[in-house]
Amino acid sequence: MSTMAQSRHSLIPLEYDIFIGLDVDKHSMAATITDHYGYTKSLKVPYDQQALVQYTGKHFKDKRVAFAYEAGPTGYGLYDSLQAAGYTCLVVSPSKIPVQRGNRVKTNRLDSGQLSRLMQGGQVNSIRVPTPIYRELRQLTNLRNMHIRQVSAMKCRIKAMFLMEGISFPDAPAGSHWSSRVLEELTHVECSTVIRFKLDQLLETLSFHQHHALEAQRQIRRLCMENQDIADSIRYLTSIPGIGWIVASNVISRVGDWRGLRNSHELGAFLGLVPTEHSTGERVSKGSLTHTGDARVRSMLIEAAWSSISHDQELASFYHRVYQHHPRDRAARKAIVAVARKLTERMYCVLTERREYILRPKEDMN
């Protein structure tokens, strides 16, 4: 079984003797140790992974020990060390930990104690912990996305400055407002010395982020092509109409090892493309999207959905059917999200079946 498949599970409490909840920061770890017989001990130790392993081996040598800590900025180093030492470790999403209403006291010790008790009751699940290669891919896609956000921000700042100063932005056909010709014209726009200085600085920063976004994309391709499993996954995803290389690499960086996928509905839920629901009895009430998961990848998938309906007649027909069942002011939004949700089902199929998507000819759909 893959590391990812192993990491996504909940504890069966009777299979363990000791439960250690951890609250981790960059300097220290607060630990609360409990068992089935009411034993409780709290301690605070420096953030030293090997020291924690040694302490556990010394005091609980013949015990079955399980650890849990919240996912956060300290990453997965602690998880790796505990797993390597043979211990079970859960990395818990903070949003999945229940919060007691009216409780206004929050400390590291109390948080670690809550995790320990939740483990003892079998009430926490681990997130999907990615293997090292997928962590590196995620670092690179995050880097590229950061530069792309800065590129968009620089373009907005430049246009905002032109608007504020009453300067006409160079004319250009739709879709080419930032072509090399326009950028060249911007370097010769007539303006005051101060505005010229600021514009040159913004253009230089824009060029910097464009260059580094391209370098990050090249590194992403290099990393993906060096790993056959990832290369195959991207090839399968890009066979789906509307899914390009950038979307595929971002999806893989978030989903991780395809072996951890359990069903076709999980991927849509993981990316926040399912509606919230508050139903009781015979009343069914569904609301907006859950918006869980990575917002950037979700936005990419919705953009991909617009492209897919222009290349796939089946998805185009599905889009129009959904469109017709909603009020005009929100029909397009509802329909395209439904198409994005359908794309996740296709993505699940090609990833788990390890095959390329076959586009049905138009005559087969009539």
Domain stop point among 91, 120, 149: 120
Q: Kindly state whether residues 63 and 171 are assigned to the same domain.
A: no
Q: Kindly state whether residues 49 and 29 are assigned to the same domain.
A: yes
Decide if 341 is inside a domain: yes
Element of type H or E holding 77: helix 77-84
Q: Kindly state whether residues 356 and 243 are assigned to the same domain.
A: yes
Q: Kindly state whether residues 198 and 255 are assigned to the same domain.
A: no
Domain stop point among 94, 120, 146: 120
Which own/partner pairs from 309-317 qualify as long-range (CB within 8 Å, at least 24 positions apart)?
A: 309/242, 309/336, 309/339, 311/241, 311/242, 311/359, 312/241, 312/242, 312/359, 313/360, 313/362, 313/365, 314/360, 314/365, 315/241, 315/242, 315/339, 315/342, 315/343, 317/365
> How far is 236 from 234, CA to CA, in rounded Å?
5
For Cα atoms 170, 176, 179, give the angle at the middle one, nearest 5 degrees. Answer: 75
Q: Kindly state whether residues 316 and 339 are assigned to the same domain.
A: yes
pLDDT in tens, 130-182: 999 999 999 999 999 999 999 999 999 999 999 999 999 999 898 898 999 99
pTM, two decimals, is: 0.88
Decide if 174 is inside a domain: yes
DSSP 17: S
Element of type H or E holding 70: strand 65-70
Q: Kindly state whether residues 31 and 95 are assigned to the same domain.
A: yes
Decide if 185 is inside a domain: yes
Place of tokens 């395809």: 258
Domain stop point among 120, 146, 167: 120
Q: What is the mean pLDDT of residues 187-206?
A: 96
Q: Kindly state whether residues 7 and 59 are assigned to the same domain.
A: yes
Q: Kindly state whether residues 209 and 284 are assigned to the same domain.
A: no
Q: How confident is the model at residue 226 (pLDDT cuts 50, 70, 90)?
A: very high
pLDDT in tens, 257-279: 999 888 888 889 888 888 877 77
Q: Kindly state whether residues 112 and 168 are assigned to the same domain.
A: no
Q: What is the mean pLDDT of residues 96-117?
A: 88
Domain that holds residue 158: 137-226
Decide if 44 is inside a domain: yes
Q: Kindly state whether residues 142 and 221 are assigned to the same domain.
A: yes
Decide if 127 is inside a domain: no
Q: Residue 4: is its pLDDT beyond 80?
A: no
pLDDT in tens, 351-364: 999 999 998 776 55
Q: How confident is the model at residue 365 (pLDDT cuts 50, 70, 90)?
A: low
Decide if 99 is inside a domain: yes
